[in-house]
A and B are shown apart, each in its own frame.
Chain A
Amino acid sequence: MVNIKIPDNPQYQALTLTLKTLKRKRGPTIEALHRAQEIFGYIPEEAMYLISKELGVPVSTIYGIVTFYHFFRTESIAKYLVNICQGTACHVKGADKILRIVSDELGIKVGETTPDNLFTLSTARCFGCCGLAPVMIVNEDIYGNLTEEKAVEVLREYKKKEENN
């Protein structure tokens, strides 16, 4: 096994603690990964090794699961995760235009992070808010019935908030 040093900090301690309880459940791997992503915002390599060690599952299997599911990320994200829904209802109501303008506004492509580490741009398949299509989610906040202007406005609000801080 590759010798990976698992950092000793509060985040990893919290994960270790969670894993000790999860261990008692049957088939806990996916749940463990959810907890890890909650703690770190993504799933770092070291966390995969820690989960592997604690649950007794080969790290290759863990990596296979992480990369199979869209929900898990292996790259860190910025303070604000901007998710543009590309579901069917949003698509027929012009989600591609929203994505284009947001990408222009932030100056990044899907999957990228702005240099100031404020925004990461991402797309999603459907949030189940189709009644409000097209939809954009920034972290937990949902913005519906978007127009190109409204989307830009929302992002500028976030930028302004940061400048004031």
Chain B
Amino acid sequence: MAKKNTILICNGAACISSGEERIKEKLINKLSEKNLTEEVDIIETGCMGPCQFGPLMIVYPEGSFYIKLNEDKIARIVEEHLLKGRPVKEFTWATPESRRIGEEKKQLPFFEKQFKIVLSNCGRIDPDSIEEYIGTGGYEALGKVINEMTPEQVIDEIYKSGLRGRGGAGFPTGLKWKFAREASGNEKYVICNGDEGDPGAFMDRSICEGDPHAVIEGMEIAGYAIGANQGYIYIRAEYPLAVKRLQNSIQQAKKYGLLGKNIFGSSFNFDIEIRMGAGAFVCGEETALIASVEGKRGMPRPRPPFPANHGLWDKPTIINNVETLANIRHIIIKGSNWFNSIGTEKSKGTKVFALSGKVNNTGLVEVPMGITIKELIFNIGGGIPNNKKFKAVQIGGPSGGCIPENSIDVPVDYESLTNLGVIMGSGGLIVLDEDNCMVNMAKFFLDFTVDESCGQCIPCRAGLRQMYNILNRITRGKGELEDIDRLEKLSNIIKKTSLCGLGQTAPNPILTTLKTFRDEYIEHIVEKKCRAHVCRFEDAEVKDKDEKILKVS
């Protein structure tokens, strides 16, 4: 018998920390108290998106979207909505408009401009249930490639779709697969890069937690395409819930014959192992990641040779980001033409962003490529809290840069962002308002990259440290005007001469802020003034970073 109501409770990391467990317990108790247990289905889902308003739940068939839940609210909702069928409107997230028409989630500005492909299951199904995943068409794409397509056809389809790597650099995925397919050797590997090391990014975490089977299915299709039988998921140790859900999904898929030997009764074998990272930002770089999967220090090496020819254990290897892999099954089922029709000329499909910082609606969003940064922040994000003035948005983490107010009409696509001197990155968007100091932000990122430099090549190891020291002097009122030239000169040298992506992009936060917020740097140096009141100048003694270590000869 169909149940009267279905309740989806968000079980994403943010909602868990806002007390989801307690809410669920209260709900279950209250339902049994009112003899409603048999009439209501409760499903715990992955991240629904608007993390700021957790704990969240949606009650169907009405679609009432309840936010900021507490135990008292649950009691009211059970009595009013579930027992008497009257949604408690004051507890739902609604604009005056949507409150009038009904509580449909779609009508909220937060969701209106979103377009969900990768996140289509996040917040809709129970991530711990393979049956629910299959119910949404899961593993259909895998069946289709194994039974109806040759590996070459799969690669061709992905290439034609225009899918580009979502880890940040935007390399065409189909091309990457083609190189690995053509590389000689029987032993090949697929690695899923879940080492989401950028502070301010939680897209991959949410996908692994909310729809883990989609990542597994994507890896299997990649394995079939390039001729690999073994995959590794490299994931941060800081994400224990994601690890748990992936492990559970691997077990389930094996039980169903959808992973392991003779998948779908064919001769295709594919196995997946999880490898945990241990907190090193540089391991997002593919050669460093490979070293780490091999159990070594995560040191990058020069490329070429590229991993497509010499990767894991020196065998041909492809490394795809979590979000890239989660796109695969949709492209296989709906076709490259469909995917190709979404987005801009050179950037196809959607991109998942993690919105945080000084913005009203923080959380996880997925938008079609080509949407403007302005729409992302002001429509979906709901603008800046406390009537503060927008200053800039930081994109691409420590390798990215800041987009100032006069450029926020830029469309989200790889080329437009690169033209601004920033990068798409993996999808962290951190909004800054007038209370944030741009020189301090630049220093913050350098502090990060200095710590994360693997120390192998001199420009990165020594150059970044010198830049940090200069910025540290400026933010303490000890800077001189020549310092700006020094910063620019060092930045250019480091960009050109560093071994890997970490060093080559580390100066970006400084270069982009120097370009658009140069007056703030000058203000710090000449007037000893920080307009955001972040930097303190009273400190007379300015210590260089790790002075102690530097003095050891």
Contact = CB atoms under 8 A, between A and B. Distances in A.
B38 interface: no
Given A69-B278, A71-B279, A131-B363, A27 B430 contact: no
B433 to A, nearest CB: 8
Contact of A131 (B14, B16, B237, B297): B14
Interface string A4-33: 000000000000000000000111111101
Given A69-B280, A70-B280, A125 B13 contact: no
B298 interface: yes
A142 B295 contact: no
Interface string A114-147: 0000000000111111111101000011111000
B549 to A, nearest CB: 14
Nearest to A33: B278
A88 B199 contact: yes
Contacts of A141: 17
A92 interface: yes
Contact of B17 (A33, A88, A132): A132
Given A65-B296, A128-B238, A131-B14, A89 B199 contact: yes
The SS class assigned to the B binding surface is mixed
A71 B240 CA distance: 13
Given A26-B313, A69-B278, A71-B238, A88 B296 contact: no
B206 to A, nearest CB: 8
A124 B281 CA distance: 12
A93 B199 CA distance: 13
B294 A127 contact: no
Given A128-B202, A133-B357, A27 B14 contact: no
B354 A130 contact: yes
A34 B297 contact: no
A132 B51 contact: yes
Contact of B430 (A71, A88, A127, A143): A88
Contact of A31 (B239, B276, B279, B356): B276
Contacts of A143: 17
A27 B293 contact: yes
A80 interface: no
B448 A125 contact: yes
Interface residues of B, number: 57
A64 interface: yes
Interface string B271-296: 00101111111000000000011111
A142 B358 contact: no
B444 A144 contact: no
A148 B355 CA distance: 23
Contacts of A88: 199-200, 356-357, 394, 397, 428, 430, 444-445
Contacts of A92: 357-358, 430-432, 436, 441
Contacts of A126: 197-201, 238
Interface residues of A, number: 41
A126 B275 CA distance: 19
A126 B432 CA distance: 18
Interface in B243-263: none
A131 B444 contact: no
B210 to A, nearest CB: 13
Interface in B383-421: 394, 397
A72 B193 CA distance: 21
A157 to B, nearest CB: 14
B279 A131 contact: no
B220 interface: no
A131 B362 contact: yes
B305 to A, nearest CB: 19
Contacts of B236: 128
B294 A68 contact: no
Nearest to B394: A88
B98 interface: no
B200 A87 contact: yes
A109 interface: no
Interface string B23-67: 000000000000000000000000000011010000000000000
B196 interface: yes
B200 A130 contact: yes
A54 B185 CA distance: 32
A140 B448 CA distance: 24
B309 interface: no
Contacts of B238: 71, 124, 126-128
Contacts of B11: none
B280 A68 contact: yes
Contacts of A89: 199-200, 356-357, 362, 428, 430
Interface string A65-103: 100111110000000000000111111110000000000
Contacts of B354: 130-131
A2 B355 CA distance: 52
Nearest to B448: A125
Nearest to A22: B295
A31 B296 CA distance: 11
A87 B199 contact: yes
B205 interface: yes
A138 B207 CA distance: 25
Contact of A68 (B51, B54, B298, B362): B298
A63 to B, nearest CB: 11
Given A70-B279, A71-B237, A92-B358, A128 B51 contact: no
A80 B78 CA distance: 37
A140 B16 CA distance: 11
B18 interface: yes
Nearest to A125: B199
A68 B288 CA distance: 12
A125 B237 CA distance: 13
Contact of A132 (B18, B197, B200): B18
21 contacts: A28-B295, A30-B276, A31-B275, A34-B237, A64-B297, A68-B454, A69-B278, A88-B445, A92-B357, A92-B430, A125-B199, A125-B279, A128-B13, A128-B236, A129-B14, A129-B202, A130-B200, A130-B354, A130-B362, A132-B362, A144-B14
Interface of A: 25-31, 33-34, 61, 64-65, 68-72, 86-93, 124-133, 135, 140-144
Closest 3 interchain pairs by CB?
Answer: A131-B51, A87-B199, A142-B17
Given A70-B278, A87-B199, 7 more contacts: A65-B297, A89-B357, A92-B357, A126-B197, A130-B200, A133-B356, A144-B18
